[in-house]
Structure 1
């Protein structure tokens, strides 16, 4: 089935645009940011307030783009946000087991010529990736003559390319991996008011010029008319048009060239309302306070992604992380690591990190896995000829 070449395209936590804290929503009224001394002298806040005063309130999506990817002061452009001393950790940093359970895919890839394509807008994370993957053996490319901005060779000899946008990545038979990517894309927020959808906007507090607040738009939003379904039962929804564009592009690519896509993210199945939040130093942080110093995010609506895919390709999931990892053999891998652990401290660390990944009250249930692939692959799965790894219960022979 894979007699040509395989491109692994990875969309990480900080791709195309980006992330956020609780929206301070209370009974349908939207509160402004609290006064904090840290906001004094914040250049991005000054820029945002000047922009609002000049052009009027703007959408949450526009706010997220500015806060996260503003070239001068955007959060993703200058911060080293990962790890213990950063603002958040992702599953691979929590435990080695997370990555090791995917080793069973290796036999599929060994017989193929592989190239790796990373979509990454953060200069800081791009540096970290280059260090971890290539020992800094990278070369900058002229963006006027090349679709990628950097190339390199991994420690194992695989070619690797960096891009700013998904549309820049070459087409072909591809396995896409989007890990904590979709939750970082800009969202529009809508509130139902007397049977019409009003968009939630961000404005300057008239009583305190250097403070931001949420306000409701005065009329029904055209974006809501396009993306919010007529039978929507919720009173508050979050919509991500960029996610719609990207998932449709992936679906069309898979239909035409083959491959598969695995999406791993915090998300829900169309039942949650207000999930817009921010993180700083591993703590929730008010999204309107001190913009540019905290990560911004919103849970992925997997029902929305399914709707955008339509009948172009097939899909599995979403299923909770604890189910997916168990189907991938995480318990067997933990057993081996525990038996080979040299001391009690290592065993304790393994069990604690396993608990974070698998406990339904931690990441085990909130983190979801979702896959899309050509219809022919689903036909193979339905005949039990080739079970879909991670989405099919692991059976021991």
Structure 2
């Protein structure tokens, strides 16, 4: 019998924050809104058109004005809202899943939790609360976060006290969570120590740089970004404009990322993601653990998915660089291919967020909560959260879940399938 029902019975005693409170975005950097556009213009003037990957990297993580580097972009006051920010029920379900699968592996200790792109630290906080409830504190939390500003927000949420070391050192920040768990911040995954690990990547891979390719009668051409015709970069009062162009000749990355049997008219490839997939698979194979990836995505059929969001609305990715979030759907088939290359790692999914949450018992959790609450406003909040997380026209269908587990677990999983991903 699965351990999940026992967890649900015990978890009812946890204090709830059913509908998240959002707070205003505090912009710490006040500068020319065209700063990044002009920087990109200068780069194009010197080197010629740039790849979409270079554009994304500059726009999202430029140290001086990158989208993620100096602001809080989450919540109703930001540009988008994530599932953990809607209700802590989401984080509880993730924590329950992690505990359940960890126990199937023999409950190895010590172990570490690694979250990649932890946002405000909301999901990590909710997971630690559940682990603490079950006295599973023989762990360390490692957060892979490139933004010093977001790391500060995460530290305030997670820790009573934390220390910023130096950006060139790793960990560059460390502290102790309110639950007594050691927390460390790293710029990249390769800086995180090896060991039995529970990986979580929620809306992380969709923000990693992609290369875009368009099929033409002369084969695939890479889509590049160039200065729009007629733009006068010397006129600082003019809003800089960019445009898409096709590369005249094959680009250096092209031959190494496009399969010979590729048939799509338009495709997007993220080499940086591929390297991380390999690292995660090798760690799981060699050191033990598992990974849960939750993101926008497709199973190798996606085409033109590159887009931008500002104030919860889709906008032109080339307008006002640095003022909106850039994203592209995750290719889950690429993760399967990497797991196959590494060997020794099983893959599960992708399945929809709705399917995952319902199969892991969200209905049971919500119904039991409603039985303990009499305040109508709180009841309405629970219903609102539930719909946001599971409705097909909201987050229920948009987000996909994908899991990686060591192949050595197959005999056990044949008897006790991975919760959420099986037909049972």
TM-score band, normalised by shorter chain = 0.7 to 0.9
SS of equivalent residue, structure 2 residue 245: strand
CA deviations over 1:215-270 (Å, ceiling 9, x no partner): 00012334232222222221000000011100001111111111111111110111
- 1:186 counterpart = 2:218: no
Q: Is 39-48 or 177-186 further displaced after alignment? A: 39-48
Match of 1:358 in 2: 390
Q: Please list every run of at least 4 consecutive aligned residues from structure 1 whose deviation after the TM superposition is greater than 4 angstroms.
A: 105-112
Matches within 5 A, 1:1-397: 42-104=34-96, 105-106=98-99, 108=103, 110=135, 113-135=138-160, 137-143=161-167, 146-209=169-232, 210-311=240-341, 312=343, 313-382=345-414, 384=415, 386-393=416-423
Q: CA deviation at 1:306?
A: 1.1
* Distance in 1, Cα, partners of 2:360 & 2:197: 21
* Distance in 2, Cα, partners of 1:228 & 1:338: 51
CA deviations over 1:158-189 (Å, ceiling 9, x no partner): 00000011111111111111111110100000
SS of equivalent residue, structure 2 residue 213: strand
* Distance in 2, Cα, partners of 1:41 & 1:320: 37
Instruction: State the TM-score, normalized to the length of structure 2.
Output: 0.80
Q: Is 305-314 or 63-72 further displaced after alignment? A: 305-314
Match of 2:22 in 1: none
* Distance in 2, Cα, partners of 1:388 & 1:186: 31
Q: CA deviation at 1:40?
A: 7.9
Number of matched pairs = 352
* Distance in 1, Cα, partners of 2:95 & 2:306: 34
Residue pair 1:196, 1:220 contacting (<8 A) in 2 also: no
Instruction: State the TM-score, normalized to the length of structure 1.
Output: 0.85
Match of 2:117 in 1: none
Q: CA deviation at 1:336?
A: 1.3
* Distance in 1, Cα, partners of 2:33 & 2:370: 51
SS of equivalent residue, structure 2 residue 317: coil
RMSD: 1.8
* Distance in 1, Cα, partners of 2:59 & 2:99: 39
Higher relative contact order (CA 8 A, sep 6+): 1
Distance 1:265 1:106, change over 3 A: same
* Distance in 1, Cα, partners of 2:389 & 2:91: 12
Residue pair 2:214, 2:265 contacting (<8 A) in 1 also: yes
Q: CA deviation at 1:120?
A: 0.6
CA deviations over 1:276-314 (Å, ceiling 9, x no partner): 111111111210000011111001010112112215211
SS of equivalent residue, structure 1 residue 75: coil
Residue pair 2:137, 2:181 contacting (<8 A) in 1 also: no
Which residues of structure 2 form unaligned runs of 5+?
Answer: 1-30, 104-130, 233-239
* Distance in 2, Cα, partners of 1:392 & 1:303: 19
Distance 1:266 1:389, change over 3 A: same
